[in-house]
A and B are shown apart, each in its own frame.
Chain A
Amino acid sequence: DTAVSQTPKYLVTQMGNDKSIKCEQNLGHDTMYWYKQDSKKFLKIMFSYNNKELIINETVPNRFSPKSPDKAHLNLHINSLELGDSAVYFCASSQRDMTTNEKLFFGSGTQLSVL
Chain B
Amino acid sequence: SQKIEQNSEALNIQEGKTATLTCNYTNYSPAYLQWYRQDPGRGPVFLLLIRENEKEKRKERLKVTFDTTLKQSLFHITASQPADSATYLCALAPRYALNFGKGTSLLVTP
**At the interface, yes or no: A83 with Cβ under 8 Å from chain B?**
no
**At the interface, yes or no: B76 with Cβ under 8 Å from chain A?**
no
Which of B15-23, B36-44, B60-68, B77-85 sits within the interface? B36-44
Q: Given known contacts A107-B43, A109-B41, is B102 in contact with A99 (CB within 8 Å)?
A: no
Within 8 A of A (CB), among B49-82: 49, 51
| Alpha-carbon gap, A104 to B43, bound state (A) | 10
Whether the Cβ atoms of A92 and B96 lie closer than 8 Å is: no
Within 8 A of B (CB), among A82-102: 90, 92, 97-99, 101-102
On chain A, which size bracket covers the interface? 20 to 34
Which of A13-21, A37-45, A63-71 sits within the interface? A37-45
- 1/0 per residue, CB under 8 A from B, across A1-19: the answer is 0001000000000000000
Q: A interface vs B, CB < 8 Å?
A: 4, 33, 40-45, 48, 50, 55-56, 58, 90, 92, 97-99, 101-109
A-B contact pairs, 30 of them (CB 8 A): A33-B97, A41-B102, A42-B102, A43-B44, A43-B100, A44-B100, A45-B99, A48-B96, A48-B97, A50-B96, A55-B96, A58-B97, A90-B43, A98-B93, A98-B95, A98-B96, A98-B97, A99-B93, A99-B95, A101-B32, A101-B49, A102-B93, A103-B34, A103-B49, A104-B36, A104-B98, A105-B46, A106-B44, A109-B42, A109-B43
